[in-house]
Structure 1
Amino acid sequence: MIPAMPATASTARQASVTALRFGRVAATGAFAALILFAGVWGSWGTAQHVMLTKGRERGTVRVTDCAGDTCSGPFTPASEGVRAGARVEIEQSPAVREGATYDVVLKPGTRDAVRSGPAGVLYAWVPLGGALLLASVVVAGGMRLLRVAWVLGLSGAGLLTAVFVALQ
């Protein structure tokens, strides 16, 4: 640069680089937040029934028949005012086996059952575990916050590992 010329060209370049960097961090931060929000939203549909059991119909189901995506069996109530013997449906997953008995909570107004207890709580939060893993990649790549990314990734991996161990 010629000493007599003003430094406006380099100042403008620095300002544009700063603006682009801020835009990248803001966009990827918003995307990571959206991923985490979607994980919580996907988990809460089931987790609310498992975690907030006061006033809900609780009991056990002995799985007798599995067809398609659901398994069903007779319901034995553990809470008062619930009729016994009614057939309820539970989502078929690798953790639900025919012939086994599971603690369940019924969704209000339906005969759909959701696993309860520690295994049910952990299983309900599986979508959040996946979202944590995905958000860690976005945070590491787009925001360059490696420590935060490691925390998110290890939290997601830990949650998914806990689910795997609890359902065995």
Structure 2
Amino acid sequence: MNITYRRGGPEDAAELDRIFDTVFCDTFGHLYRAEDLNEFLTSFGIEDWRAQLQDPRFAVQIAEAGGRAAGFAKIGPLKLPIENERPAVLLDQLYVLKEHHGAGIARDLMDWVFDEARRRCAEDIYLTVFIDNHRARRFYDRFGFEPVGRYDFMVGKHVDEDVIMRKAL
């Protein structure tokens, strides 16, 4: 299947929200009480996506397979509890629908993240990843991200331990 890439815009808000919810639930949904998962998923919706897609501090790259969105990467301003003296961006999300795993989409999206971060004159890229998400950790390790701290990631009232990772550009 032919994979194409394009920049996301406000008109993509509903589709990005759908992909985010689908991938999050497929990957982590079994870990949470229904009310915590629902609170988390409804805390950021289509209007929030639209606002970020109109905000120049954020950028989203969408992967499409057969003309349908298959995944995306989103970068934005650094908002983690970490001291950083150099220009930096946050890789806020990199999500690929399960049926497209193994197609090289995540790798291509990560290449875009590096290019976009450099275009923004960032010297560091940060991200957080759930401590037990071993597949994602291996992926980020391959790209040279290193653990630099921990982060409490809230899903409703449930606290997950995330690892803060950094890559110097």
Q: Confirm or deny a common fold (TM above 0.5).
A: no
TM-score using structure 1 length: 0.23
Q: Which has the larger radius of gyration?
A: 1
